Structure 1
Amino acid sequence: MRSSSPAVSSRVPAFLALACVGFVATAPAHADSEASGPDSDDQDRIIVNGQRASELAGPKGVAPVVNTPRSVVVLSREVIEQTGSTSLADALRTVPGITFGAAEGGNPIGDRPFIRGFDSQGSTFVDGVRDLGAQTREVFATEQVQIVRGSDSTLGGRGSAGGSINIISKLPVAGNFIAGSASAGTADFKRFTLDVNHQLADKVGVRIAALWHDQDVAGRDAVWQRRWGVAPSVTIGMGTDTRLTASYYYLESHELPDSGIPYAYTLANAPGMGTIQSRPIVGDFTTITGVKGHVDRSNFYGVASRDFRDAKTHQATLRAEHDFGGITLRNTSRYTYTDQAYIFTLPDDSQGNVFGTATANPVTGAAGTRGDVLTGGLVWRRANTRYGYTKTLTNQTDLYGTFETGSVKHSFSVGAEFDWEKARRGTFVTRGYLNPSTGVEILSMGSQTSPRCNTATIARYYCASVFSPNPSDPWTNYASDSATTASPVVRSLPIEETQNDASTVAFYGFDSITLLPQLILNVGARYDRFKSTVTPGQSAAATSTFRLSKTNNLFNWQAGLVFKPTRNTSLYASYATSATPPNSLVGEGQDGNQLGSTVTAAALLDSLKVEKTKSYEVGAKANLFHEQLALTAAAFQTDTDNARVTGANNTVEFVGKRRIRGLELTFNGNVTKWLTVFGGYTHLDPKIVDGGSTILTAAAITQTVNGATTTIQAAKTVAVPSVNTGRMATQTAKDSFTLWADLKPVSRLSLGGGAFYASTVVGGYQDNRSAVQDASGVVTVIPATKVLVRSVPSYWRFDARIAYQLTPKVGISANIQNLTDKTYYTQAYTSHYATIAPGRSAFATLNVKF
């Protein structure tokens, strides 16, 4: 049964645009507000990439997009609405070159976008302000989404190795309108949105966006989602030199989370030799004993009575700005609070329980007594749990505008940023008591059992059938695997919770310098002082805690040269850097360079290094057909150094390297007055140049004489290159293509269609190299006979839409998503599972505007 717990969450649209040193188009400012409302003359066409920003550059957007030496995509409100996108993840699937990663750490369910092969979760912004909290973002209050690709810590600060995402919020505009939509469809889909803008007086405007959403998930048993939100805002001084905008954003969501489908094999039980692909097991599947069955795409391996995810976001923003002729001073303050709690089932295959490890089950000894099941056909329902919150307080001041030095024109922006972040998290403990002698938690759900699946754990529904899992199994939490008394699921003790604190002081400056009408130099630099502190959670029996802290000084810069053959075309070359310090995600994602969680980690603090990335890019841009169609092409290379890996001495070293080469083509706008298009193609060559080392252990050599055993050679370790070295980077599609087209054969009728392609995505690699030693202590490395590659296959997905404008104020539309009911996967985790996409769904929408 679905549960609901009202809450208030705020995300404040503060119109501070995330643009780059001339990088990105910014949010529509007050002078353009009439054109951005629902009754605008532009409502039936897609805004050309960067066209409006060329007239209304925001604090960091010092040049129009056609004159910026970077690859930039502006995803408009029109495309979001036409494609039926209801979340940020939905919207971003229309942009080529973006994939989504699955994780097991701080954000296993929320948004984790990868741009150019790099995790960009920590490089997501709302109106130019970092939005770090782990969450699944909505689009009901979104005006547009801006994607800047390439290293851009100069723009946003730490991270941003592959690019950044900036969500532009709906804020008050001139004029009055009321717009609303009501949708209903298959899988019990229901969605209602409201967008009201009212100009109270010549200089005061208010706006409120609201949402209620409820649905099951097409093609998935038991899974459902429900959320609601509201985003009010007010601007005083519209159209004047001095303006004050206050805004608030709240989103509350509840759902039965879905991790997806287990992979077929582990390294130990994968059949055959050489490179073996382990993929999700949808379809016909045969276990190690030859038992055949069919795994339906709808199979859900979770427990409906236990699993849940509740999340809330509160965001409040205050922005003040004043124009001094051609120069503007702007100050933005924001407070954000997010909290999230979940228990979700990870369909675990780690002990070979899916395919099986033996052709017969044991019938003697302890294994026979337990009734161990080794013949496969089962999934362990591992419970991943978390609860916690994040708090952030940000203040940004920007001074931007234009001036001239002789014949040279400058469009500049300088600013300062101060951030304070706090994240605290714990876990739900599926145990009823602590061991009184050790203080160690006694965990249930089979975590203390090996192998996981036996007569008792199957009877308690800890293990489910691969072929026919039942989400409604009557699961009960017990005090331990052997206990018979039910026990409540409780939160961990305060001393067991982990806390991260961080602060940032940053100063930055950008300048777009028009040397000649045909030649523009674009430069920028940023300095950040980032301090991070972690207070690791301790065992329940502990009486004290400790802290680990690290401060990094980051300097990043970018430079680009733009040559303009004509006013609406450009050729460019650019160089940019980024820096990702240790603990950059403050525990809110999968951070490969953490400060640590033990006292011994303190010894590593001084050795921790900042991961550094640099990007080289060349490209061309053109705005055609009276600036109605934007075309871009870019070729680039991104190099990463100092990645954290295991060194040859089995300690942390910062020698990891990655290289991403690629080509991007994008199109956006009106081909004719009756055809608009959005999309592009991306080809990536993502390579792990140096993945560090893997440590193998050669077992000790012993001999037994007259019943006495002695050790001739102690166990030894040897380092070999990581299995990742030289291979394709994970979580990244080599090739991706997106196209959304909207055709108007007659004035009131609109026909839309989408085609989306992504090639194979790899989750992770394993091999079975081993080491042995002889009696003299000589160690020999035995080469791998198997390399296991966990991956999801390539796919094509097709969508369709038809819309008809009944009157100037009333329209209807119908969307069909995943038209062919394609089985495909949106995330490939390193091990265990892949997230499956929804099946075919359809919904109709009534749109009204006054």
Structure 2
Amino acid sequence: MAHIAEPKPSDWSKPAFLALSCVGFVSPAHAAAVDPAGNVSDSDVAERSDVIVTGRHEAPVNVKLTAPLIDTPRSITVLSEALIRDTGSVSLVDALRTVPGITFGAAEGGNPIGDRPFIRGFDSQGSTYLDGVRDIGAQSREIFAVEQIEVVKGSNSVLGGRGSAGGTLNIVSKLPKLADFAHADVSYGNADYKRATIDVNHKLNDIIAVRIEGMWHDQDVAGRDAIWQKRWGIAPSITIGLGTPTRLTASYYHLHSNELPDSGLPYGYVCSATICNAPAGDFVLSEPVHHVTTKGGVTGTVPYSTFYGLKDRDFRKSNTDQFTLRAEHDFGSNIMLRNTARFSHTWQGYSFLLPDDSTGNVIGTTTTNGTTGGVTQFTSGGYVWRRANTRAGITNSLINQTDLTAKFDTGPLKHSVAAGLEFSSEDARRGTYVMSNGASISPRCNSTTVARYYCTSLFAPNPNDPWVNYASDTSTVQTPVVRSPSFGDTANTGITRAGYLFDSISLGDWLIANLGARYDDFTSKVRPGRATATSPSIELRRRDRNWSYQAGLVAKPTHNSSLYVSYATSVTPPNSLLGEGQEQNAVGTTVTPLLDQLKPEKTKSLEAGAKADIFDERLSLTAAVFRTESNNARVSVDANTVAFIGKKRVNGFEIGFNGRIINGWTVFGGYSYLDAKIREAGFTALTAAAVGGQAAKTVYVPSVNNGRRFPQTAKDSFTAWTSYETHGFSLGGGAFYTSRVFGGYGDNRTATQNAAGVVTINPATTILARSIPSYWRFDARASYKFTDRIQLSVNAQNLTNKRYFNQAYSSHYASIAPGRTVFGTLSVDY
């Protein structure tokens, strides 16, 4: 396979502008105590690995949240550094598994590999923020430089801008403190698990400090054949002016990843108007294969460890580079001005194996194989097509965000205000790698494609098959894998101009009004790829101007409790993700009548809840009921018409707990119930074949998705993590439950016509639901502190070695979770 190199930043056009009014930075809240001058006591630093931030003290640092958690009328979960460490999490996905109501979607086709959380049933891949600033590039995020993670649930474009129908994630970085400390972890475990991290902070003088975090990670994946992951990262930063009214922080973050990507196992059945090998029934489940009997009568077991990819073909490499400059100035004790300027560059290239079932080759469509032109067609099942999804993508973003916070009184009313302006230019460009994989051959699996390793055995694939690349599926000329020509790339640009205002208004000690509004001016441009270097280029452009709002009312029965109601909206304009996620409302890449019909999708959330801090404010309890509705989602009416009549609704409730019950005993977790239904999904095209003098006709019928549960959404999820520490010894454990998740739906309705051109819709005999089963997972941790500075811990993840699936795609495959992973960690503080 050809060497895959990252394009240089100079290969991609620079974003258009940046407002360089660099004034302001707000340091995040830290576990160690910080006095008003910004100093951290030596005792706090020495004990920093023991500090548990709980209850009302575990506060979000996003300045747009203008009240303490208990007085904020929303569901907000904050994952502390201590919780992330104790659960053995090494990635954003690892950390978020502890939060109920979040599931994860898989990558396929145009949806790039990267973190794809679904919050309350809505895809939040494009609603991730780093220190309050949007982070658009598709990537798999690490946590070695993360202080805490903030999850805000419910519609909240007002908080972060476009998208955010189900919620947002804000990742808070580790930044300098006025102290001298160093912390190092070295881990080793089964599946050749190796990891090392370091965090060093040094106070240069009374107002300047530097900090650097580093990480190296190398592992195979327990219970999975051939899969491996390697990455390293570094994150230096410096702050000038700590403990003074004016502060300036410069930081840099780099992460490099190299891995053999894993897509799990294929679904068994396929069902469409052209192919349906599933049993007849109104709701037939198609799960990832395990115990299988093919149409040809072959029975076998597919081990959960099975990998259908090719070591000589499949790869994933990625780089993330981020430069941030933040400045802050305090005007007295109640007014602060902050400015954040960031340049972010992400690149990833991959050939991602997708075990495809689209032509029924897994279970089969006939009881015997046929022969065409001397080639045996393997239509009786027992084969998997090694479909290669490829991508070479770059994103560059230049963002400037200015925030002003203030506290003041107007008569009897007390205000906590946050206002701001955002200017950004985000560019995304994507191409592919040119390789043959049998995509032009149908049915996919025959004696020729098996000989070329395009298809492999369902039961015994060999990832070491000597695959080579040919000029085409039928050519005999070998050729290296190359990136597609740059003139064929699709390029997206998004320019945002936004302003926002939030105000928490206290009416005495018992009532708080929480208000917010944001205006977004979003210009989107798409430059489709060209067929040749001399082909004319086109640019598709649109501009959307939208308001989003939030309003809440908080009643305070006591100082440590609250009752609230809230309303919030979100707006998702066309091309919101710039190709860096699954775009349900895409602009497209051709000039069509659809372009003028596009509108933003809008969502609203209603929520009511209660919060209480008990046991001397050590333990925080929360409960909420909510409804989120999208009443104008984009659907297809016919080939030339889209309509914004799609309807989706989520009704649900959740409870949460976080904090310390008694000294040494901490708990974290909750339960989420989501009744998520697609109420109106538009129409599906069926083609009636030509008959006599009648040409083929396309007709549209109601979508099979109508009335179905949201894909990638669990109705029930429960998480709990607890630990108890005494005399230097700590014992902890976690239980995590996720109910059945559906990936997508299909049926076998067909359309036929007679010689007079009258079209008949033949009803479905099978309605297929691709899904993954529910599962329980259990984790455990034990540690012993030999001295104040040396600790040894052991984490056991998936303690019972439960083989479960953690991501369901709409078709083709589901991702399988790692088996039991046990690793020990030696921690040293200095």
Give the shorter-chain TM-score range. over 0.9
Is this contact kept in 2: 1:25–1:146, CA < 8 A? no
Alpha-carbon separation, structure 2, partners of 1:354 and 1:423: 36
Equivalent in 413, 419, 423 of residue 408 of structure 1? 413
Deviation per CA, 1:454-473, whole angstroms, max 9, x where unpaired?
Answer: 11111111101110110100
Equivalent in 708, 721, 736 of residue 727 of structure 1? 708
Verify: 1:247 aligned to 2:228, yes or no.
Answer: no
Q: Which amino acid aligns with 1:223?
A: I
Secondary structure of 1:122's counterpart equals coil
Is this contact kept in 1: 2:490–2:526, CA < 8 A? yes
| Superposed counterparts of 1:166-315, under 5 Å | 166-267=170-271, 268-282=276-290, 284-315=291-322
Equivalent in 370, 387, 392 of residue 397 of structure 2? 392
Alpha-carbon separation, structure 2, partners of 1:669 and 1:785: 53
Verify: 1:653 aligned to 2:643, yes or no.
Answer: yes
Verify: 1:524 aligned to 2:516, yes or no.
Answer: yes
Is this contact kept in 1: 2:120–2:674, CA < 8 A? yes
Offset of residue 53 of structure 1: 3.4
Alpha-carbon separation, structure 1, partners of 2:760 and 2:256: 57
Offset of residue 344 of structure 1: 1.4
Offset of residue 270 of structure 1: 1.1
Give the unaligned 5+ runs of structure 1. Answer: 431-443, 703-710
Number of residue pairs the alignment of both structures matches? 811
Secondary structure of 1:34's counterpart equals coil
Q: Which amino acid aligns with 2:361?
A: N
Query: Which residue in the other structure is 2:745 paired with?
Result: 765
Deviation per CA, 1:204-231, whole angstroms, max 9, x where unpaired?
Answer: 0111010000000011111000000000
Verify: 1:740 aligned to 2:746, yes or no.
Answer: no
Equivalent in 445, 458, 461 of residue 466 of structure 1? 458
Offset of residue 682 of structure 1: 0.2
Q: Which amino acid aligns with 1:285?
A: V
Alpha-carbon separation, structure 2, partners of 1:493 and 1:652: 32
Q: Which amino acid aligns with 1:828?
A: A
Is this contact kept in 2: 1:730–1:764, CA < 8 A? yes
Moved more, 33-42 or 220-229: 33-42
Moved more, 102-111 or 567-576: 102-111
Alpha-carbon separation, structure 2, partners of 1:543 and 1:807: 70
Shift in CA distance, 27/114, structure 1 to aligned 2, threshold 3 Å: farther
Secondary structure of 1:723's counterpart equals coil
Deviation per CA, 1:624-655, whole angstroms, max 9, x where unpaired?
Answer: 11111111001000001221111157632221
| Superposed counterparts of 1:642-791, under 5 Å | 642-647=632-637, 651-702=641-692, 711=693, 713-744=694-725, 746-791=726-771
Q: Which amino acid aligns with 2:167?
A: G
Q: Which amino acid aligns with 1:71?
A: S
Secondary structure of 1:340's counterpart equals strand
Query: Which residue in the other structure is 1:53 paired with?
Result: 59
Offset of residue 40 of structure 1: 6.0
Moved more, 141-150 or 766-775: 766-775
Alpha-carbon separation, structure 2, partners of 1:143 and 1:610: 35
Is this contact kept in 1: 2:330–2:336, CA < 8 A? yes
Deviation per CA, 1:528-568, whole angstroms, max 9, x where unpaired?
Answer: 10001000112237522111011000100100000000001
Alpha-carbon separation, structure 2, partners of 1:34 and 1:2: 51
Query: Which residue in the other structure is 2:115 paired with?
Result: 111
Query: Which residue in the other structure is 1:102 paired with?
Result: 106
Equivalent in 792, 795, 816 of residue 836 of structure 1? 816
Is this contact kept in 2: 1:4–1:254, CA < 8 A? no
Offset of residue 764 of structure 1: 0.3
Offset of residue 137 of structure 1: 0.1
| Superposed counterparts of 1:475-490, under 5 Å | 475-490=467-482
Equivalent in 376, 386, 398 of residue 381 of structure 1? 386
Verify: 1:425 aligned to 2:430, yes or no.
Answer: yes
Alpha-carbon separation, structure 1, partners of 2:370 and 2:803: 37
Deviation per CA, 1:680-711, whole angstroms, max 9, x where unpaired?
Answer: 00000001010001222333443xxxxxxxx2
Secondary structure of 1:201's counterpart equals coil
Secondary structure of 1:448's counterpart equals coil
Offset of residue 396 of structure 1: 0.8
Is this contact kept in 2: 1:35–1:42, CA < 8 A? no
Secondary structure of 2:268's counterpart equals coil
Is this contact kept in 2: 1:495–1:545, CA < 8 A? no
State the TM-score, normalized to the length of structure 1.
0.92
For the aligned residues, what is the CA RMSD?
A: 2.3
Verify: 1:121 aligned to 2:125, yes or no.
Answer: yes
Deviation per CA, 1:439-483, whole angstroms, max 9, x where unpaired?
Answer: xxxxx2211211111111111111011101101000111112222
Is this contact kept in 2: 1:25–1:50, CA < 8 A? no
Secondary structure of 1:374's counterpart equals coil
Q: Which amino acid aligns with 1:271?
A: P
Verify: 1:321 aligned to 2:328, yes or no.
Answer: yes
Q: Which amino acid aligns with 1:597?
A: T
Alpha-carbon separation, structure 1, partners of 2:32 and 2:654: 24
Shift in CA distance, 80/421, structure 1 to aligned 2, threshold 3 Å: same
Q: Which amino acid aligns with 1:272?
A: A
Alpha-carbon separation, structure 1, partners of 2:124 and 2:379: 40
Shift in CA distance, 747/401, structure 1 to aligned 2, threshold 3 Å: farther
Secondary structure of 1:81's counterpart equals helix
Q: Which amino acid aligns with 1:44?
A: D
Offset of residue 64 of structure 1: 0.1
Offset of residue 28 of structure 1: 9.7
State the TM-score, normalized to the length of structure 2.
0.94
Alpha-carbon separation, structure 2, partners of 1:470 and 1:727: 38
Shift in CA distance, 402/25, structure 1 to aligned 2, threshold 3 Å: farther
Q: Which amino acid aligns with 2:250?
A: A
Offset of residue 778 of structure 1: 4.0
Equivalent in 555, 562, 573 of residue 547 of structure 2? 555
Q: Which amino acid aligns with 1:614?
A: K
| Superposed counterparts of 1:447-462, under 5 Å | 447-462=439-454
Query: Which residue in the other structure is 2:19 paired with?
Result: none
Moved more, 32-41 or 252-261: 32-41
Query: Which residue in the other structure is 2:20 paired with?
Result: none
Is this contact kept in 2: 1:18–1:127, CA < 8 A? no
Alpha-carbon separation, structure 1, partners of 2:179 and 2:31: 21
Secondary structure of 1:545's counterpart equals coil
Offset of residue 41 of structure 1: 5.2
Identity of aligned residues (%): 58
Q: Which amino acid aligns with 1:34?
A: V
Is this contact kept in 1: 2:688–2:698, CA < 8 A? yes
Moved more, 542-551 or 491-500: 542-551
Alpha-carbon separation, structure 1, partners of 2:562 and 2:26: 23
Alpha-carbon separation, structure 2, partners of 1:821 and 1:670: 30
Verify: 1:496 aligned to 2:476, yes or no.
Answer: no
Q: Which amino acid aligns with 1:237?
A: G
Deviation per CA, 1:266-293, whole angstroms, max 9, x where unpaired?
Answer: 11111333321111013x2111121011
Equivalent in 783, 795, 802 of residue 803 of structure 1? 783
Alpha-carbon separation, structure 2, partners of 1:402 and 1:292: 71
Q: Which amino acid aligns with 2:384?
A: V
